[in-house]
Structure 1
Amino acid sequence: MVDSLSVWLVLPLGIALGWYLRARGPADPTQPASTSGASGVSPDALAGMSHLVNDDPDQAVASLLRATELDTQAVELHLTLGSLFRKRGELDRALRVHESLADRAQLTSEQMERTRFELAQDYFKAGMIDKAEELFEQLSHRGLYATAALEALISVHEQSREWRRAIEASRRLQAVGAQPRQPVIAQYYCELAEQARMGKDIDEAIRLANRALEEDGGCVRANLILGRLQEEAKDFRAAVKSLRQVPEQDLRYTPEIVEPLMRCSKELGELPAFLDFLREIDSETSASASALAQAQLMRETGMNPARFLAETFSASPNWALLEQLLSSIEPPADETSAVAMNNLREALKTAAAARNRYRCTSCGLAPGLLFWQCPSCKQWGSVIPADDRLIPKVS
């Protein structure tokens, strides 16, 4: 019985072999196909297919390699096999197939380019980064795979965290007519800013964050970095200015600025202006950033914000308000009621803590942390704070 390996390999290879047969035609056009050795197909190619059906991929590789050595028209079959092995994660076999092809001097230039591109992908997936980078770099300067090689080269630099080289490759990609990459380049500058910050080079970190904004004026991350750096440097006025730009860039990231903006506003003695700013944002988004901030300030002055939070929660129920409300409610005097209230509080806290705080607008991943590059689909800037409302918005 044909198992999953054979299903994966035989169907596409059957298509490739069909193409191969049509390309060759009968060995003698005047003779029927049945008398021409299966249309001139080499015994090794047919043996390779037999080994695949019998779940013996290593023998299949050996047979098909011999067939390719006999007939250059089998190159397509060879490439299909190597690609399928890579997609299945069988990288040793994929490398064996593609390295064998790359050693063939009689390949056409187009076949050689494709073979080298496939081989570079094998190296990359196998973690052989230096070899992959070398091949992608060579292919990126000319030929059919120049654009694809540049895109792959950027992925290599991202994985190696070589952000300046990623910037250079991105600019080259833009120059050949690819879609604009300024937002992604801005993210690379933010990565460099974070590296500078970790190295205690604050001036350089600020310069790089500003460079990100020059590249993409809508880069939320750059202003968040600037706000943090400026707060750490006790330049609270500059930090407030940077943080207040975030909602102008993307209102969805407002929750990320509330706490640092409150701290800086306290230092400046400008809490009323801070609350007015958040109320204005709330009126545009139906959010509750100002209510949460006001509740925190009430606690700090010795007031219990439970009633205020309950009224706000009634008007705009969301998880953040619920968490704050639960922590503010005084336990009942009656012991039985107090136990029941505590159990309810703990259950709701558990549900609130388990909620998805962020989501990727590209692939739907719901991480608990804010990633600037989605760990799943690798898109930049696609992870945003999740909708916090208990009652979903009806569109």
Structure 2
Amino acid sequence: NDHDQAIEEFTKSVQVNSDTIETYVALGNLYRSKGDIDRAIRIRQTIILRPNIDDQIKLRALFDLGVDYRKAGFLNRALKTFLKVTQKTPSDVKALENIERIYEELKDWDNAYRTRQKLAVITKGDYRHILAHHLVEMGKVAQEKGELNSAKSLFNKAISTHRECVDAYLHLGDLYFKKKDYKRGISTWKKAVEAAPQFSFLPYRRLEGAYAKMKDLKPIGDFLKECAQSNGDAFTHLALARYLYNENDIDDALDQINIALELAPSFWEARKFRGEILLADYREK
């Protein structure tokens, strides 16, 4: 095929003129695209080790080597290689983006956060949503370790970084719930809806659990009705349908499912729930 033919031509070129660095680079890229990572890596290493090569070319080979390592799944080697690139050129955006992604894959959220901070300074971009995500992940790690005060602080920092970080509100509310501070948990989860109304369905189960603990489910119904009127996404209407069904209000539950399906005709979960209601109703008759 075309790839094999190109590789053959480039190989001949390298044999004829081994000083043509551009040919080495192109050959390495072709090997990588073919999935022959070992050969691609060897070519990058050859370029890096050759004397009298322009520093920029060596730097490009070092970056390509990092990409090869990452594609091969050698994350730690890739990380070390990209870090070497940033030692030579601290403002290399592509290298920093690769470093951040590797830290994310390794679940090293502290370093992912710090790397994104560097990118924000260099590119002058608005990355509050990404920084908040990293802070939430750091908070979840602290929570798993039982470091609840640290987790709480990180979730709050995520919220102050990006007010629409729904995940931060959800996990902060979970902390209060575990401490049996149900009112504070409910208040926090409701803030998630205020911050991002399109995700009002996400805290529904949590709110339901908290109100159940307080032995008062009526507020959850009021909350869902209010959300359905103000926001009206399919997920919220389905959540309201579930609440109404549990309250034995079958007709209104079906009405809410129908609204959900009008908004999202391929909403499988809504279709499934409607089928379950109709089947249960048929059996009762």
| Aligned counterpart, 2:281 | 330
Stretches of structure 1 that go unaligned for 5 or more consecutive residues are: 11-47, 53-59, 299-303, 335-395
The change in CA–CA distance for 1:253 and 1:238 in structure 2 (over 3 A counts) is: same
Correspondence list, 1:313-392, <5 A:
313-314=257-258, 317=261, 319=267, 320-328=269-277, 329-331=280-282
**Mapped pair 1:294 → 2:244:** yes
| Partner Cα distance (1:144, 1:311) in 2 | 58
Amino acid of the residue matched to residue 310 of structure 1? L
**CA shift at 1:183, angstroms?**
1.1
TM-score (norm 2): 0.85
The change in CA–CA distance for 1:91 and 1:321 in structure 2 (over 3 A counts) is: closer
Q: Once the two structures are superposed, what CA deviation does each residue of 1:14-54 show, in whole Å capped at 9, x if it has no partner?
A: xxxxxxxxxxxxxxxxxxxxxxxxxxxxxxxxxx51xx7xx
**Mapped pair 1:6 → 2:1:** no
| Aligned counterpart, 2:116 | 170
**CA shift at 1:175, angstroms?**
1.7
Confirm or deny: 8 A CA contact 1:223 1:243 kept in the other structure.
Answer: yes
| Aligned counterpart, 1:249 | 195
Q: Once the two structures are superposed, what CA deviation does each residue of 1:303-360 show, in whole Å capped at 9, x if it has no partner?
A: x4333323444555465554444334333589xxxxxxxxxxxxxxxxxxxxxxxxxx
**CA shift at 1:75, angstroms?**
0.9
**CA shift at 1:217, angstroms?**
1.4
TM-score (norm 1): 0.63
The change in CA–CA distance for 1:216 and 1:104 in structure 2 (over 3 A counts) is: same
* Secondary structure of 1:255's aligned partner: coil
**CA shift at 1:164, angstroms?**
0.7
Q: Once the two structures are superposed, what CA deviation does each residue of 1:258-315 show, in whole Å capped at 9, x if it has no partner?
A: 111112123335533332222111012334133322322x1xxxxx433332344455
2:214 aligned to which of 268, 292, 297: 268
| Aligned counterpart, 1:149 | 95
Q: Which has the larger radius of gyration?
A: 1
| Partner Cα distance (2:32, 2:55) in 1 | 23
Confirm or deny: 8 A CA contact 1:124 1:132 kept in the other structure.
Answer: yes
Stretches of structure 2 that go unaligned for 5 or more consecutive residues are: none
Q: CA RMSD in A?
A: 2.6
Q: Tell me the number of residue pairs that the alignment of Structure 1 and Structure 2 aligns.
A: 274
1:308 aligned to which of 235, 241, 252: 252
| Partner Cα distance (1:157, 1:255) in 2 | 31
**CA shift at 1:201, angstroms?**
2.3
| Partner Cα distance (1:211, 1:144) in 2 | 27
| Partner Cα distance (2:159, 2:16) in 1 | 56
* Secondary structure of 2:107's aligned partner: coil
| Partner Cα distance (2:118, 2:284) in 1 | 70
Confirm or deny: 8 A CA contact 2:48 2:61 kept in the other structure.
Answer: yes
Q: Once the two structures are superposed, what CA deviation does each residue of 1:209-250 show, in whole Å capped at 9, x if it has no partner?
A: 112112211111111111222212211111111111222222
